């Protein structure tokens, strides 16, 4: 093979940077940012460059693994899949469909397989025990947007490229590279904002890299943003600053909202948040005065006690100031693969409940915080088997020790994963996909969450080996097994069925075969790309908003157009589209959903108090640039300089007589762990911070690099407490005591 350059979008985080990969006969020579990629323009981070090491990692599994007598051995795909088929059938027959649970981890959102094949898999399994990492993440924002706009897919994105004022609650995009806001090169974009005279204001208990670059940073006591946001809405009404402009005809319930927020004064918020009342008032006035402003909240306003209410209030401020759906405010995406009008209309939570503690369903799933109890508690519907796909819940979700023990008690566990890690070490079968560079890539999720309308397809950099499987093939195999079609059914059977269903839908929308004269074959025959996700993508692109409509719009795009544009196609900035975006059946914004009321009542009763608990610290998380949740610590180039330390303010450390590097004992309501202290005035007094994704010290894992610098698992400390509406785990603001471990 001669030297060549491959263009590939990085699938590791939501930024989706374009990469330029120099390939020789020896494999990957070098990776760097692709300057021709219109979104990232050459920007990339150390993780993208480390795709080479990920591809080459000797610990990455190649053949499937079967565990026997506590030992893993390599197996053929036939053997592994027929074992899965046999065991799943047994368990479902004896204990019912709900006895099989599924947990989907974050990387599913970064694969074509995840974008297309999750739905058929879950449908075929017919289990109500469906869990994902969303309920330790963004579910509150999805629920808030679902209730406001009618669909959890309608999440407004801050238009940071055109805004004058960017207000950030609880996000660190300089390090996370942005979330629910695909915008590669945040530092560059914020520099551009400041150069055109705009400002960024950050509200965070930690002076993060984002906060350092901000024009103003306000420390806030963890978990109390809800009070500040309520006070801001209170001020908007009280000072006559509400100006909904073009949104006016779309909103209702304004008066009810005004009355509800009346008791939440800046003074009350100040006590709770540790921010002066004047600062809250001033910020509110600045937002109202700005020509274009985008208020944005992320992990720090999601994974907290009042996550959904906080996420809702962020939207409320954008709506009341007329910034929603406005250039330079926040806007909705119109992605190339989502046909206009195809998003289901109407949203509610709690359509069904979990068996043990009656936790409410949210966006079709149950909260991960109840996963352990559903495995532990005997009775009809108890979980006996678990399928994990691209997830590491033993490190990611609350009460890790409990989950770890519950996994050991399962009858059967299947993991689709590259590694034997803290979770998959307990699996009976591990099904590893081919290397990350051997799959085609298209961002089904993040093209719908980007600051510009954009589409890019990356072909595989290398062909997978003959005995390897693509991610979609594994998902399709599992779906076919679950549907009773057998472990030897070809994955293409599912793909063909899905194409058939898509074609049937289009023909139905055209009034039927007879009226339209269109037959299914006429829609399927012209599709290009490999069988599998590419042909499905081609179909969606053709019927999408920029599509060729199967020849009806000759200027439109299809899959071939994307392959001819290896750096992607930019459809321009987000455009106002409120009428089209709203997915409530009545076509309105439901400004004040009644689901908020119980939490607001609880908050009203608490406003006399002060945030925090005397004698206890509030524990928050953090991310480092060279990490990706739990799973990239096995790469030498990334794992150095990644301190898994407990950040603590000098005043607090002094009181406890702790010095830099001393081991501190941290105790929550559910566990005690120890970590070295790192003293810094970047953290608010009374708050401590540990990163998540660490704790690679379990027996039986096969992560030779990560094991050398194992760190501790902060989620051993996390109680299974959830916020009420979206059932999302409270990961930030956990009360803990800290003491010197030497004592």
Ligand X SMILES: Nc1nc2c(c(=O)[nH]1)N[C@H]1C(S)=C(S)[C@@H](COP(=O)(O)OP(=O)(O)OC[C@H]3O[C@@H](n4cnc5c(=O)[nH]c(N)nc54)[C@H](O)[C@@H]3O)O[C@H]1N2
The residues of the shown chain that bind ligand X, judged by CB under 6 A, are 13, 105-107, 111, 133, 136-137, 169-173, 175-177, 179, 203-206, 208, 220, 222-223, 225, 298-300, 304, 389-393, 396, 416-419, 421, 433, 471, 620-625, 627-631, 692-693, 714-715, 718, 731-733
Q: State in angstroms the smallest separation of the CB of 640 from ligand X.
A: 15
Residue 48 binding ligand SF4, by CB under 6 A: yes
Query: Considering CB under 6 A, how many residues would be counted as binding ligand SF4?
Result: 12
DSSP helix/strand/coil, 455 = strand
Q: Tell me the HSE value of 500 on the side-chain side, using a 13 A CA sphere.
A: 6
- Measured between alpha carbons, how far is 618 from 690 in angstroms, rounded to an integer? 11
Residue 15 DSSP symbol: T
Among 6, 17, 21, 214, binds ligand SF4 (CB under 6 A): 17
Question: CB under 5 to 8 A by kind: which of ligand X, ligand SF4, Mo ion, none does 630 bind?
Answer: ligand X
Among 6, 21, 28, 45, binds ligand SF4 (CB under 6 A): 45
Crossing angle for the helix pair 307-320 and 139-149, to the nearest 10 degrees: 50
Residue 268 binding ligand SF4, by CB under 6 A: no
Q: State in angstroms the smallest separation of the CB of 184 from ligand SF4.
A: 6
Q: State in angstroms the smallest separation of the CB of 628 from ligand SF4.
A: 7
**Contact code string over 134-173 relative to ligand SF4, x by CB under 6 A:** ----------------------------------------
Residue 47 binding ligand SF4, by CB under 6 A: yes
Residue 175 binding ligand SF4, by CB under 6 A: no
- Measured between alpha carbons, how far is 528 from 508 in angstroms, rounded to an integer? 23
Residue 205 DSSP symbol: S
Nearer to ligand X, 168 or 288 (CB): 168
Q: Which two tokens mark 264? A: 């939440």
Q: State in angstroms the smallest separation of the CB of 685 from ligand SF4.
A: 32
Among 28, 39, 44, 701, binds ligand SF4 (CB under 6 A): 44
Residue 547 DSSP symbol: B
Specify the stretch interacting with ligand SF4 by CB under 6 A; choose among 45-53, 286-294, 701-709, 715-723: 45-53
134-193 residues near Mo ion, rule: CB under 5 A: 137
Nearer to ligand X, 448 or 502 (CB): 448
Crossing angle for the helix pair 266-273 and 277-289, to the nearest 10 degrees: 120
Q: State in angstroms the smallest separation of the CB of 590 from ligand SF4.
A: 34
Closest CA to 232 of 259, 261, 254: 261
Residue 212 makes CB contacts below 8 A (sequence gap 6+) with: none
Crossing angle for the helix pair 597-606 and 307-320, to the nearest 10 degrees: 100
Nearer to ligand SF4, 10 or 726 (CB): 10
Q: How far is CA 347 from CA 153, 602, 727, in A?
A: 10, 24, 16
Question: CB under 5 to 8 A by kind: which of ligand X, Mo ion, ligand SF4, none does 16 bind?
Answer: ligand SF4
Burial class (CB in 10 A: 0-12, 13-18, 19+), 624: middle
Query: Considering CB under 5 A, how many residues would be counted as binding Mo ion?
Result: 1
Q: State in angstroms the smallest separation of the CB of 596 from ligand X.
A: 18
Residue 568 binding ligand SF4, by CB under 6 A: no
Closest CA to 61 of 396, 468, 459: 468
Q: Terminus-to-terminus CA distance in the chain, angstroms? A: 62
Residue 300 binding ligand SF4, by CB under 6 A: no
- Measured between alpha carbons, how far is 577 from 589 in angstroms, rounded to an integer? 13
Task: Tell me, letter by letter, the H, E, C secondary structure of 483-502.
Answer: CCCCCCCCHHHHHHHHHHHH
Question: CB under 5 to 8 A by kind: which of Mo ion, ligand X, ligand SF4, none does 733 bind?
Answer: ligand X
User: In 39-104, at which residue ranges do the beta strands (DSSP E only) sit?
Assistant: 65-68, 71-74, 100-104
Residue 16 binding ligand SF4, by CB under 6 A: yes
Residue 703 DSSP symbol: -
Residue of this chain nearest to Mo ion (CB atom): 137
DSSP helix/strand/coil, 460 = coil
Question: CB under 5 to 8 A by kind: which of Mo ion, ligand X, ligand SF4, none does 692 bind?
Answer: ligand X
Nearer to Mo ion, 101 or 104 (CB): 104
- Cβ contact 718:436 at 8 Å: no
Give me the residues that bind Mo ion (CB under 5 A), please.
137
Give me the residues that bind ligand SF4 (CB under 6 A), please.
10, 12-13, 15-17, 44-45, 47-48, 177, 184
């Amino acid at each position: 093979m001669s030297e060549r350059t491959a263009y590939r979008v990085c699938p590791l985080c939501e930024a989706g940077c374009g990469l330029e990969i120099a390939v020789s006969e020896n494999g990957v020579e070098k990776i760097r940012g692709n300057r021709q990629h219109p979104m990232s323009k050459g920007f990339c981070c150390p993780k993208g460059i480390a795709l080479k090491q990920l591809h080459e990692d000797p610990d990455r599994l190649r053949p499937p693994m079967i565990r026997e007598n506590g030992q893993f051995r390599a197996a053929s795909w036939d053997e592994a899949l027929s074992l899965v088929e046999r065991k799943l059938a047994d368990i479902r027959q004896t204990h019912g469909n709900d006895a099989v649970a599924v947990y989907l981890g974050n990387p599913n959102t970064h694969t074509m397989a995840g974008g297309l094949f999750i739905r058929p898999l879950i449908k075929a399994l017919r289990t109500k025990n469906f869990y994902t990492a969303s309920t330790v993440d963004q579910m509150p924002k999805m629920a808030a947007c679902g209730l406001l706009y009618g669909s959890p897919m309608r999440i407004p994105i801050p238009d940071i490229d055109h805004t004058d004022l960017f207000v950030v609650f609880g996000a660190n995009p300089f390090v996370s590279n942005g979330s629910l806001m695909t915008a590669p090169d945040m530092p560059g974009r914020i520099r551009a904002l400041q150069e055109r005279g705009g400002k960024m204001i950050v509200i965070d208990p930690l002076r993060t890299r984002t906060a350092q670059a901000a024009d103003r940073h306000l420390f806030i006591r963890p978990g109390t943003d809800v009070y500040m946001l309520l006070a801001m809405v209170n001020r908007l009404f009280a000072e006559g600053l509400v100006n909904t402009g073009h949104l006016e005809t779309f909103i209702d319930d304004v008066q009810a909202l005004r009355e509800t927020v009346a008791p939440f004064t800046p003074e009350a918020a100040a006590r709770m948040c540790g921010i002066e009342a004047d600062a809250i008032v001033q910020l509110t006035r600045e937002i109202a005065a700005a020509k274009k402003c985008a208020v944005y909240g992320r992990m720090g306003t999601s994974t907290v006690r009042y996550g959904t209410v906080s996420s809702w209030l962020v939207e409320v401020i954008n709506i009341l100031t007329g910034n929603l759906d406005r250039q330079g405010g926040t806007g909705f995406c119109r992605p190339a693969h989502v046909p206009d009008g195809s998003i289901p209309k109407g949203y509610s939570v709690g359509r069904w409940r979990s068996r043990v503690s009656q936790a409410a369903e949210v966006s079709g799933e149950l909260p991960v915080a109840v996963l352990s109890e559903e495995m532990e508690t005997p009775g009809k519907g108890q979980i006996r088997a678990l399928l994990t796909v691209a997830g590491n819940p033993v490190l990611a979700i609350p009460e890790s020790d409990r989950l770890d023990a519950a996994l050991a008690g399962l009858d059967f566990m299947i993991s689709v994963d590259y590694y034997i890690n803290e979770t998959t070490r307990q699996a009976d079968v591990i099904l590893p996909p081919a290397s990350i560079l051997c799959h085609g890539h298209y961002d089904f999720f993040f093209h719908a969450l980007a600051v510009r309308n954009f589409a890019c397809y990356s072909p595989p950099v290398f062909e997978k080996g003959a005995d390897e499987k693509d991610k979609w093939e594994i998902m399709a195999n599992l779906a076919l097994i679950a549907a009773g079609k057998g472990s030897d059914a070809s994955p293409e059977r599912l793909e063909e069925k899905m194409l058939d269903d898509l074609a049937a839908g289009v023909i139905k929308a055209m009034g039927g075969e007879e009226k339209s004269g269109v037959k299914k074959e006429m829609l399927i025959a012209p599709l290009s790309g490999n069988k599998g996700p590419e042909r499905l993508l081609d179909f969606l692109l053709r019927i999408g908003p920029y599509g060729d409509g199967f020849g009806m719009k000759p200027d439109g795009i299809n899959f071939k157009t994307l392959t001819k544009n290896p750096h992607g196609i930019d459809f321009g900035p987000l455009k106002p589209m409120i009428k089209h975006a709203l997915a409530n059946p009545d076509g309105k914004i439901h400004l004040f959903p009644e689901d908020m009321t119980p939490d607001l009542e609880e908050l009203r009763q608490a406003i006399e108090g002060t945030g925090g608990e005397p004698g206890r610290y509030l524990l928050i998380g953090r991310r480092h640039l060279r990490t990706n949740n739990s799973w990239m610590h096995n790469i030498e180039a990334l794992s150095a300089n990644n301190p898994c330390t407990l950040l603590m303010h000098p005043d607090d450390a002094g009181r406890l007589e702790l010095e830099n590097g001393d081991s501190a004992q941290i105790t929550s309501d559910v566990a005690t762990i120890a970590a070295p202290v790192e003293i810094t005035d970047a953290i608010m007094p009374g708050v401590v911070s540990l990163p998540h994704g660490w704790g690679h010290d379990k027996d039986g894992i096969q992560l030779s690099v990560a094991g050398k610098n194992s760190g501790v698992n902060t989620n051993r400390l996390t109680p299974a407490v959830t916020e009420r509406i979206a059932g999302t785990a409270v990961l930030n603001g956990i009360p803990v005591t800290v003491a010197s471990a030497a004592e």
